[in-house]
Amino acid sequence: MLIRLAFRNIWRNRRRTLITMFSMAFGLALAIFFISWGAGVYARLINQAVRLQAGHVTLEHPGYRDAPAVDLFVPGSSKIIEELSQWPEVERVKPIVLGQGMAKSGAGSLGVAVVGVLPSAEAASSPLVKNLSQGKYLADNDGPWCVVGKKLALKLNLGVGKKLVIATNDVGGNLVEELCRVKGIYDTGSDEIDTYLVQVPIGFARNLFRMPEDSVTQLGVILRKADFQKRVLKRLSGHFPAGRVAARAWQEVMPEVASYIRMDKSSNWIFQAILLFLVLFTIFNTMLMSVLERRREFAVLMALGTKPSQIASLIFFESAFLGALGCAAGIVLGGVVALVFNVVGIDLAWFVKEGISISGFALSTRIYSKVTPGILLVPSILVFAAILVVSVIPMRRAVKFSIADVLR
Amino acid sequence: MDAIVTVSNVVKNYGQDHVVTAALSGVSLRLEPGDFAVMAGPSGSGKSTLLNIIGGLDRPTSGSVSIEGRELASLSDADLSRLRRDRIGFIFQGYNLIPVMTALENAEYVLMLQGAPAARRREKVLAVLAEVGLSGLENRYPRELSGGQQQRVAIARAIAAEPALILADEPTANVDSRTGDSLIALMRRLNEKGATFLFSTHDPAVMAKARRLIVLKDGLVESDSEK
Residues A75, A37, single domain; the answer is no
Residues A249, A270, single domain; the answer is no
- Closest CA in chain A for residue B115: A1
CA–chain centroid gap for A347, Å, is 18
Q: Which of B58, B100, B113 lies at the smallest CB-CB distance from A306?
A: B113
pLDDT at A69 over 90: no
Residues A129, A277, single domain; the answer is no
pLDDT for the residue numbered B86: 93
Contact between A280 and A387 under an 8 Å Cβ cutoff? The reply is yes
How far apart are the C-alpha atoms of B32 and B38, rounded to whole Å?
13
pLDDT for the residue numbered A40: 86
Q: Which of A11, A307, A408 lies at the smallest CB-CB distance from B81?
A: A307
- Closest CA in chain A for residue B108: A1
Q: How large is the average pLDDT for residues B164-169?
A: 90
- Closest CA in chain A for residue B105: A1
DSSP conformation class of A74: B
Furthest CA-CA distance within chain A: 100
Greater confidence, A363 or A310?
A310
pLDDT for the residue numbered B10: 94
Go through chain B and tell me how many residues it has: 227
DSSP conformation class of B6: E
Residues A97, A231, single domain; the answer is yes
- Taking all residues of chain B, what is their mean pLDDT, rounded to a whole number? 89
Residues A63, A115, single domain; the answer is yes
Contact between A60 and A363 under an 8 Å Cβ cutoff? The reply is no
pLDDT at B149 over 60: yes
How far apart are the C-alpha atoms of A169 and A177, rounded to whole Å?
8
CA trace torsion A406, A408, B4, B8 (10° rounding): 110
Contact between B25 and B218 under an 8 Å Cβ cutoff? The reply is yes
How far apart are the C-alpha atoms of A157 and A108, rounded to whole Å?
8
Greater confidence, B206 or B57?
B57
Q: Which of B77, B84, B100 lies at the smallest CB-CB distance from A304?
A: B84
pLDDT at B118 over 70: yes
Residues A95, A151, single domain; the answer is yes
Most confidently predicted of A34-48, A165-179, A308-322: A308-322
Residues A59, A86, single domain; the answer is yes
Best of A11, A12, A297, A300 to disrupt the B interface (most B CBs within 10 Å) is A300
How far apart are the C-alpha atoms of B64 and A112, rounded to whole Å?
96
Q: Report residue A267's pLDDT band, with 50, 70 and 90 as the boundaries.
A: confident
- Taking all residues of chain A, what is their mean pLDDT, rounded to a whole number? 86
What was the ipTM of the complex prediction? 0.90
Angle at B219 between CA B213 and CA B223, to 5 degrees: 30
pLDDT at A241 over 80: no
Last residue of a domain, one of A253, A279, A298: A253
How far apart are the C-alpha atoms of A330 and A346, rounded to whole Å?
21
Query: Is B82 close to A1, i.e. CB distance below 8 A?
Result: no
Does a structural domain hold residue A260?
no
Strands A163-169 and A90-105: antiparallel
pLDDT at B171 over 80: yes
Reduce the DSSP state of residue A164 to 3 states and report it: strand
How far apart are the C-alpha atoms of A273 and A277, rounded to whole Å?
6
Contact between A1 and B88 under an 8 Å Cβ cutoff? The reply is no
CA distance B197 to chain A (A): 16
How far apart are the C-alpha atoms of A30 and A387, rounded to whole Å?
17
Residues A61, A38, single domain; the answer is no
Strands A57-60 and A218-223: antiparallel
Last residue of a domain, one of A207, A232, A253: A253
How far apart are the C-alpha atoms of A46 and A35, rounded to whole Å?
16
Greater confidence, A400 or B9?
B9
Residues A62, A85, single domain; the answer is yes
Last residue of a domain, one of A253, A273, A303: A253
Report how far apart, in Å, the C-alpha atoms of A161 and of each of A157, A172, A185, B31 are. 12, 31, 10, 115
Does a structural domain hold residue A37?
yes
Residues of A with CB under 8 A from a CB of B: 1, 5, 8-9, 11-12, 296-297, 300-308, 310, 402-404, 407-408
Residues of B with CB under 8 A from a CB of A: 48-49, 52, 55, 57-58, 77-78, 81-86, 90, 92, 96, 98-101, 105, 109-110, 112-114, 157
Q: Report residue A270's pLDDT band, with 50, 70 and 90 as the boundaries.
A: confident
pLDDT at A358 over 70: no
pLDDT at A359 over 60: no
CA distance B130 to chain A (A): 22
Q: How large is the average pLDDT for residues A2-17?
A: 87
Query: Is B98 close to A403, i.e. CB distance below 8 A?
Result: no
- Closest CA in chain A for residue B53: A404
User: Which residues span the domain enclosing A100?
Assistant: 54-253
Residues A247, A285, single domain; the answer is no
Contact between B87 and B96 under an 8 Å Cβ cutoff? The reply is no
- CATH superfamily of domain region B5-226: P-loop containing nucleotide triphosphate hydrolases (3.40.50.300)
CA distance B86 to chain A (A): 8
Does a structural domain hold residue A259?
no
pLDDT for the residue numbered B87: 92
pLDDT for the residue numbered B133: 86
CA distance A312 to chain B (A): 14
Query: Is B100 close to A308, i.e. CB distance below 8 A?
Result: no
Q: Could you give the percent of chain A with pLDDT greater than 70? A: 96
- Closest CA in chain A for residue B98: A297
Lowest pLDDT segment from A70-74, A350-354, B59-63, B115-119 = A350-354
Contact between B143 and B99 under an 8 Å Cβ cutoff? The reply is yes
For residue range A150-179, what is the model confidence (pLDDT) as tens digits?
999 999 988 888 999 999 988 888 888 889
Residues A74, A29, single domain; the answer is no
Residues A248, A382, single domain; the answer is no
Contacting residues of A for B105, CB less than 8 Å apart: 1
First to last CA, chain A: 27
Does a structural domain hold residue A123?
yes
Number of domains in chain A: 2
Q: Is the dihedral of CA B178, B184, B188, B191 positive or negative?
A: positive
Does a structural domain hold residue A86?
yes
